[in-house]
Amino acid sequence: MKQLIILLSVMLFSFSSYAQPSTDAVCMPVEVAKQVAADLIVGDSAKAMLALTEKELDLSKEKLEYKDSLILTAKLKEINLTDQVRNERTQKEAYVSLYNDAKKQYADLTKTYKRYRTKKTFTDVLFITGITALTGLLIFK
């Protein structure tokens, strides 16, 4: 049994010694290696440019959102000012209408007062004339 174990261990060691060694190096011509290295460098710089471009795009989006918010604010202010102007015009028209109505009422009241004053004067003259006539009749009788 001892001999079998020794035989097996010798065989296992011998198989590993006859195996092909692994290498990390790749054999290729120098020009191809230079081209591969150049392509790797260009690829790395392209990745870096892509990252920068993405950051720039994000900044552009933020800037656009800020400008959109400014535009929205300006439009809201414009709508607010338009409403204020419309309200002021409506208020002015209402004041003008009230003023014109007041002028008409004043003119009507003035006419009514003149008629009243004329009637009162006429009534006073008739009253005084009547009293004078009655006093004269009473005195001369």
| Per-residue pLDDT reduced to its tens digit, 12-42 | 665 555 555 556 666 777 787 778 777 777 7
Domain ranges of the chain: 30-140
- Confidence (pTM): 0.46
Structure tokens, 117: 């004053």
Neighbours of 2 (CB within 10 A): 6
**Cα 124 to Cα 20: distance, rounded to the nearest angstrom:** 148
Collapsed DSSP state (helix, strand, coil) of residue 115 = helix
pLDDT in tens, 111-128: 999 999 999 999 999 999
What value does the mean pLDDT take over residues 55-61?
95
Distance CA 74, CA 68 (A): 10
Lowest mean pLDDT among 45-54, 61-70, 116-125: 45-54
- Distance separating alpha carbons of residues 122 and 114, to the nearest angstrom: 12
- Residue count (the chain): 141
Secondary structure of residue 123 in the 3-state scheme = helix
Give percent above pLDDT 70 in the chain.
Answer: 84
Q: Where are the alpha helices (DSSP H) in 19-29?
A: none
